[in-house]
C-alpha cells in the first residue's frame, strides 16, 4: 500500500488498485505496493480472496520504460518485479486479475502470476517487449507457454503483437470475459468471480505443465527463420525464441534465469536504446512548444480530397478508415474511375487477408463520395489538395476552393516540396492554409508531415496534429522550406548515392550496402520504385536555382532522357523483369562510365564504409542544418520522420540518433574530410553539428536543452 497502490475491502474480498497515471506503468513503488498489499491480505483472516485492478483507462502497460533509459545510462536498477510475482502466486488466498484497457509486458506478467484472470471484452493483452528491442524480463517467456501453449507464446513474445480478450479466453489465458463497459462493471464482475473461487485451490501458473508437453521443435526454427526475414538486424526476437524454447526444456526457475540473462543482453544493446528512443520520440513529436495543450481545435466531421491519383485515393481512404465522410473530386470520369478502382482493390486485398470483414469495406466505400465537381465542398471542415506537383496548378486549385469553402474550413496541400506560403498567397485566408504531406502509399505509411506556413494559425496546427492521431498517423510538425524535413534531407542522400556510382561504385554496391545497413531498400532502388521522372520534373522546375560550377549528379537525368524511369518502364538504374525483380543493367553501367569520363572523374574502388558514411552523413548534416534553422523542432522529430516515412531501420533509432551512437566528433571529422575532397558547396558542416561536436554534446542533449528551455 502506498500512494500508487491502494488496498480496500469489499465484504471479504481485498481489492488492490494500481493508480499510477497515465498507464499504470510498474514504476518504482508500484511492485512494492502490490507486494505489501498481497502480504496484508494474506494475513487478514477476513479476506477470502483478492482482486487486482487498474485505476483509469488501463490495467498495467508494463514496466516503466523510463527506468530502462536510466539503467542503460548507468543508474542502479530499481525494478524488482520477481519477488512481487512470487508473492502473488504463493498467496494462500486466490488472486483474481481484473484486466481492462491493456495488460502489456510486465502488466501481462503480473496478470499471469495471478491464479485467475477476468477481462473486459474490449481489452488487449500482450508481450510487446521486442518492439523495444528487449524481451519479457519477469517470467513472461516461462509463464505464457504454460497458459497459452508454446506456439502462441512463441508468436506473442517473438513478434510482440497484442491479442484480444476473445482470443485470450479461447487460449485459456483468461478465465472469463466480463461484459459491460460502465465504470465498475469489471470490478463487480471480478469480485463476483473471486467469491466463486474463494474456496477453490489457487492454481500456480509456474507449476502448470499440461501445455508444455509434445512440442514439435520445428516451430522454433520456423520462428527463427521468420524473425530473421521480418525483423532483420534485430536480436531481441531471436532471444525471445530462445527463452520460450527454454520453457519446454528447463525447470521454471532456470528458465527465468536464462530469460534474465537474455533480457540484460538485449537491454544494453544499441538496438534497444534506438527502439526505446523511437518509442518516446513518437510521443514527443506531439508536443509543440508554442502551441500549448488545450489550444482550440476545429471539429473535423466532413472532408474533401482533390485528385484521385495514387496519393489522393490513399488520403481519402484514411478519412474513410476513421469514419469521416469524404468527397473525392477528379477532373475526368476516367481518372475518377481509375482512382476508385485502386481504392476498391486496396480494400479487397485487406478483406482477403482477413484484416477486416466485407461489411467494413462496404461501410468505408460508402463514406467516399466520388464526383467531378465542387458540390458539397462548402460543407467540408477540411479540404486536402492532392493534384499534380506543380505550383501553377496548386495555386489555381487553392484559388477555387478559397472561393467555395466555409470560413472555418482548413485548406491543406499534400505537396511534397513546394512553398506553402506561396500556395497560401492564392487565398484570402493564409491562416487556414497548411501542408499535410502524406507518404505513398498514403493509406499505409504512418507518417504525416504537417507543414506550418508563416501565417498558419495555432488552431489549424493543433487541429492538424490531433487529426493525424485520429487518422492513425504519426504527425510531425515541419517548418516551410523546400522539401520540408524529409525530402530536403533526402536530396543530399540521393546526391551522394549517384556521385558514388559516378566515382566507381556499382549500382548494386550502393543498394546492397545501404540495405545491409538496415534500410528497407537502397537509394537507387527507391528512386527506380518511385519513378526517376518524378525527381526529373522537379529538378527541371528548379534548374534556375542550381549554382554554376557546383557538381550535380548526372546519371538520373541521362536515364530519363532515354525514357528510363525505373520500375515503371522496366529500366532505370537497374533492369526489372515482369515481376519487377531487379538485375544489373550493363547499359546503365556503360552510361555511368560515359558520364564520369565527360566530367573528368577518375573512377576508383569505393569501400562499403565510404558508401555508408557519404550517404548517411549527408543526411545527418542536412538534418543538423534544418534543426539549426528551426525547420524541425527537435532532432527526434527528424528521426520519427525517417523511421515512419522513409524506411530508416527502426533499430538504429533514426539518422540523428544514429549519428549520436557514432559520436558527433567522428561524424564531423568525416564530413570535414569529404568537404576537403568534394568542396564546401556540397559538404560544409552544419554550424549546429560543429558546435555540439566541439562541446562534446549530442543531438539528444540538444533536444533535452530545448525541452528544458520550453518548460522553463
Collect all residues with Cβ–Cβ distance below 8 Å to 586 and sequence separation of at least 6. Answer: none
Partners of 552 in the β-ladder: none
**73-92 binders of ligand T1G (CB under 6 A):** 81
Query: Which residue lies nearer to ligand T1G by CB, 483 or 653?
Result: 653
Would residue 75 show up in a list of annotated catalytic residues for this protein? Answer: no
The β-bridge relationship of strands 410-413 and 382-385 is parallel
Distance CA 400, CA 432 (A): 15
Closest distance to ligand T1G from the beta carbon of 450 (Å): 18
Out of 41, 138, 476, 624, which residue is the one contacting ligand T1G (CB under 6 A)? Answer: 138
- State the greatest distance between any 2 C-alpha atoms of the chain, in Å, as a whole number: 92
Contacts of 524 (CB under 8 A, 6+ apart): 497, 498, 501, 507, 510, 511, 573, 574
Size of the site for ligand T1G (CB under 6 A): 25
Nearest C-alpha neighbor of 280 from the set 707, 710, 711 = 707
**Does 140 sit near ligand T1G (CB under 6 A)?**
yes
CB neighbours of 311 closer than 8 A, spacing ≥ 6? 386, 414, 438, 440, 442
**Shorter beta-carbon distance to ligand T1G: residue 254 or 695:** 254
Specify the stretch interacting with ligand T1G by CB under 6 A; choose among 58-66, 217-225, 316-324, 609-617: 58-66
703 lies in the site for ligand T1G, by CB under 6 A: no
Nearest to 658 by CA among 679, 682, 635: 635
Nearest to 94, CA basis, from 6, 176, 211, 12: 12
Coil, helix or strand for 456? coil
Is there binding between residue 278 and ligand T1G (CB under 6 A)? Answer: no
Residue from the set 283, 482, 580, 666 that interacts with ligand T1G by CB under 6 A: 283
Catalytic residue among 3, 32, 109, 502: 109
Q: How far is the CB of 45 from ligand T1G (least distance, A)?
A: 33
Cα–Cα distance for residue pair 90/711, rounded to 1 Å? 46
Interface map 494-523 toward ligand T1G (x if CB under 6 A): ------------------------------
Whole-angstrom Cα Rg for the chain: 28
Q: Which of 33, 94, 114, 128 binds ligand T1G (CB under 6 A)?
A: 128
The nearest distance, CB 132 to ligand T1G, in angstroms, is: 6
Pairing status of strand 13-18 against strand 163-164? unpaired
Spatial separation of the C-alpha atoms in residues 663 and 91, rounded to whole Å: 50
DSSP run (H or E) holding 16: strand 13-18
Q: Confirm or reject binding of residue 255 to ligand T1G (CB under 6 A).
A: no
Q: Which is nearer to ligand T1G, 286 or 608 (CB)?
A: 286
Q: Residues 611-640: x/- map of binding to ligand T1G (CB under 6 A)? A: ------------------------------
One of 4, 16, 63, 328 touching ligand T1G (CB under 6 A): 63
> Quick one: which of 134, 236, 305, 462 contacts ligand T1G (CB under 6 A)?
134
Q: Residues 96-115 vs ligand T1G: string with x where CB under 6 A?
A: ------x-xxx--x------
282 among known catalytic residues:
no
Judged by CB under 6 A, the residue of 54, 133, 137, 235 near ligand T1G is 137
The DSSP 8-state label assigned to residue 470 in this structure reads H
Among residues 123, 132, 168, 246, the one that binds ligand T1G under rule CB under 6 A: 132
Binding status of residue 660 toward ligand T1G by CB under 6 A? no
Site string for ligand T1G, 20-49 (x = CB under 6 A): --xx-x------------------------
Q: Which of 156, 159, 288 is nearest to 230 (CA)?
A: 159
Distance of closest approach, residue 279 Cβ to ligand T1G, in angstroms:
7
Q: Is 65 in the site for ligand T1G (CB under 6 A)?
A: yes
Per CB under 6 A, 471 contacts ligand T1G: no
- Alpha carbons 689 and 671: distance in angstroms, whole number: 10
Dihedral angle of Cα 505, 510, 511, 514, to the nearest 10 degrees: 160
Closest CA to 203 of 109, 94, 108: 94
d(CA 51, CA 62): 18
Q: Please state the closest distance from residue 226 (CB atom) to ligand T1G, in A.
A: 21
- The interface region with ligand T1G, picked from 127-135, 304-312, 342-350, 475-483 by CB under 6 A, is 127-135
DSSP string, 515-558: HHHT-SS-HHHHHHHH-HHHHHHHHHHTGGGSPTT-----HHHH
266 binds ligand T1G per the rule CB under 6 A: no
User: Of the two residues 136 and 582, which places its CB atom closer to ligand T1G in the complex?
Assistant: 136
Strand order in the sheet with 368-371: 368-371, 326-329, 303-306, 382-385, 410-413, 433-438, 447-452, 474-478
**By the rule CB under 6 A, 413 interacts with ligand T1G:** no
Give CA 387 to chain center in angstroms: 27
CB-nearer residue toward ligand T1G: 140 or 523: 140
Which residues ranging from 522 to 561 are in contact with ligand T1G (CB under 6 A)? Answer: none
Tell me which of 11, 67, 75, 129 is the catalytic residue: 129
The 3 state secondary structure assigned to 403-415 is HHCCCCCEEEECC
**Least distance (Å) from ligand T1G to the CB of residue 267?**
8
Peptide bond just before 180 cis, omega within 30 deg: no
| Contact stretch for ligand T1G (CB under 6 A) within 62-70, 166-174, 306-314, 336-344 | 62-70
Contact 478, 484 (CB under 8 A): yes
Which one of 57-65, 240-248, 335-343, 494-502 is the stretch in contact with ligand T1G (CB under 6 A)? Answer: 57-65
Q: Which is nearer to ligand T1G, 234 or 416 (CB)?
A: 234
256 vs 442, which CB is nearer to ligand T1G?
A: 256
Smaller CB separation from ligand T1G, 193 or 657: 657
Q: Tell me: cis bond preceding 530? Omega within 30 of 0 counts.
A: no
User: Distance between CA atoms of 176 and 166, rounded to whole angstroms?
Assistant: 9
What Cα–Cα distance (Å) separates residue 461 from each residue in 21, 38, 295, 419?
27, 48, 10, 17
Minimum CB distance to ligand T1G smaller for 140 or for 314: 140
Nearer to ligand T1G, 67 or 196 (CB): 67
Name which of 146, 169, 165, 172 is nearest 157 in CA terms.
146
Q: At what angle do helices 235-247 and 140-148 cross, to 10 degrees?
A: 60
Binding mask 585-614 for ligand T1G (x = CB under 6 A): ------------------------------
Determine the Cα–Cα distance for residues 634 and 303; give it in Å rounded to an integer. 31
Choose between 61 and 620: whose C-beta lies nearer to ligand T1G: 61
Contact flag: residue 62 with ligand T1G (CB under 6 A) = yes
* Residue among 257 and 684 whose Cβ is closer to ligand T1G: 257
Q: Does the footprint of ligand T1G cover residue 61 (CB under 6 A)? A: yes
Q: What residues are annotated to the active site? A: 109, 129
Contact residues toward ligand T1G (CB under 6 A) are 22-23, 25, 61-66, 81, 102, 104-106, 109, 128-129, 132, 134, 136-138, 140, 280, 283
Amino acid at each position: 500500500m502506498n500512494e500508487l497502490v491502494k488496498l480496500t475491502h469489499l465484504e471479504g474480498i481485498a481489492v488492490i488498485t494500481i493508480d499510477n497515471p497515465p498507464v499504470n506503468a510498474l514504476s518504482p513503488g508500484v511492485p512494492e505496493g502490490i507486494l505489501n498489499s498481497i502480504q496484508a491480505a494474506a494475513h487478514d483472516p477476513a479476506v477470502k480472496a483478492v482482486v487486482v485492478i487498474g485505476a483509469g483507462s488501463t490495467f498495467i502497460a508494463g514496466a516503466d520504460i523510463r527506468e530502462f533509459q536510466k539503467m542503460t545510462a548507468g543508474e542502479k536498477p530499481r525494478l524488482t518485479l520477481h519477488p512481487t510475482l512470487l508473492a502473488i502466486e504463493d498467496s494462500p488466498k486466490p488472486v483474481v486479475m481484473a484486466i481492462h484497457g491493456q495488460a502489456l509486458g510486465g502488466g501481462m506478467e503480473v496478470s499471469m502470476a495471478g491464479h485467475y484472470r477476468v477481462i473486459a471484452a474490449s481489452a488487449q493483452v500482450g508481450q510487446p517487449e521486442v518492439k523495444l528491442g528487449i524481451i519479457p524480463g519477469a517470467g513472461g517467456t516461462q509463464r505464457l507457454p504454460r497458459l497459452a501453449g508454446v506456439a502462441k507464446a512463441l508468436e506473442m513474445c517473438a513478434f510482440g503483437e497484442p491479442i484480444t480478450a476473445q482470443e485470450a479466453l479461447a487460449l485459456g489465458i483468461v478465465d472469463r470475459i466480463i461484459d459491460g463497459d460502465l465504470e465498475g462493471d469489471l470490478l463487480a464482475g471480478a469480485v463476483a468471480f473471486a467469491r466463486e473461487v474463494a474456496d477453490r485451490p489457487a492454481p500456480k501458473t509456474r507449476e502448470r505443465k499440461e501445455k508444455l508437453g509434445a512440442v514439435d521443435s520445428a516451430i522454433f526454427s520456423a520462428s527463427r527463420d521468420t524473425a530473421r526475414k521480418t525483423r532483420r538486424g534485430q536480436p531481441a526476437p531471436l532471444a525471445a525464441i530462445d527463452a520460450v524454447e527454454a520453457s519446454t526444456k528447463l525447470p521454471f526457475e532456470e528458465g527465468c534465469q536464462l530469460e534474465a540473462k537474455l533480457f540484460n543482453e538485449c537491454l544494453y544493446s544499441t538496438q534497444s536504446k534506438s527502439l526505446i528512443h523511437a518509442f518516446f520520440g513518437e510521443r514527443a513529436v506531439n508536443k509543440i512548444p508554442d502551441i500549448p495543450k488545450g489550444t482550440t481545435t476545429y471539429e473535423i466531421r466532413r472532408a474533401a480530397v482533390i485528385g484521385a491519383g495514387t496519393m489522393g485515393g490513399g488520403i481519402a481512404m484514411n478519412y474513410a478508415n476513421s469514419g469521416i465522410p469524404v468527397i473525392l473530386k477528379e477532373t475526368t470520369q476516367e481518372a475518377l474511375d481509375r482512382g476508385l478502382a485502386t481504392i476498391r482493390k486496396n480494400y479487397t486485398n485487406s478483406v482477403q487477408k482477413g484484416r477486416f470483414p466485407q461489411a467494413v469495406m462496404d461501410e468505408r466505400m460508402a463514406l467516399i463520395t466520388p464526383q467531378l465537381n465542387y458540390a458539397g465542398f462548402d460543407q467540408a471542415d477540411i479540404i486536402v489538395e492532392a493534384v499534380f506537383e506543380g505550383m501553377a496548378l496548386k495555386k489555381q486549385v487553392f484559388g477555387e476552393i478559397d472561393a467555395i469553402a466555409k470560413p472555418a474550413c482548413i485548406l491543406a496541400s499534400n505537396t511534397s516540396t513546394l512553398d506553402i506560403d506561396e500556395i497560401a498567397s492564392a487565398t484570402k485566408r493564409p491562416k487556414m492554409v497548411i501542408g499535410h504531406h502524406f507518404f505513398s502509399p498514403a493509406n499505409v505509411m504512418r507518417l504525416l508531415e504537417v507543414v506550418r506556413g508563416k501565417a498558419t494559425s495555432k488552431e489549424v496546427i493543433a487541429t492538424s496534429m490531433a487529426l493525424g492521431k485520429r487518422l492513425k498517423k504519426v504527425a510531425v510538425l515541419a517548418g516551410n522550406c523546400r522539401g520540408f524535413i524529409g525530402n530536403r534531407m533526402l536530396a543530399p542522400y540521393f546526391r551522394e548515392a549517384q556521385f558514388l556510382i559516378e566515382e566507381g561504385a556499382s549500382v548494386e554496391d550502393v543498394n546492397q550496402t545501404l540495405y545491409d545497413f538496415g534500410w528497407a531498400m537502397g537509394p537507387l532502388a527507391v528512386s527506380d520504385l518511385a519513378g526517376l521522372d518524378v525527381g526529373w520534373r522537379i529538378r527541371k522546375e528548379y534548374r534556375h536555382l542550381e549554382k554554376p560550377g557546383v557538381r550535380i549528379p548526372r546519371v538520373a537525368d541521362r536515364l530519363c532522357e532515354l525514357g528510363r524511369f525505373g520500375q515503371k518502364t522496366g529500366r532505370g538504374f537497374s533492369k526489372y523483369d515482369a515481376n519487377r525483380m531487379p538485375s544489373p543493367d550493363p547499359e546503365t553501367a556503360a552510361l555511368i562510365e560515359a558520364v564520369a569520363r565527360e566530367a573528368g572523374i577518375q573512377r576508383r574502388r569505393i569501400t562499403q564504409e565510404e558508401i555508408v558514411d557519404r550517404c548517411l552523413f549527408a543526411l545527418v548534416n542536412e538534418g543538423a542544418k534544418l534543426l539549426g534553422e528551426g525547420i524541425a523542432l527537435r532532432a527526434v522529430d527528424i528521426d520519427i520522420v525517417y523511421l515512419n516515412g522513409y524506411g530508416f531501420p527502426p533499430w538504429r533509432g533514426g539518422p540523428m540518433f544514429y549519428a549520436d551512437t557514432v559520436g558527433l566528433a567522428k561524424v564531423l571529422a568525416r564530413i570535414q574530410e569529404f568537404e576537403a575532397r568534394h568542396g564546401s558547396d556540397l559538404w560544409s558542416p552544419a554550424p549546429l553539428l560543429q558546435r555540439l561536436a566541439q562541446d562534446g554534446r549530442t543531438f539528444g542533449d540538444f533536444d533535452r536543452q530545448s525541452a528544458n528551455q520550453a518548460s522553463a
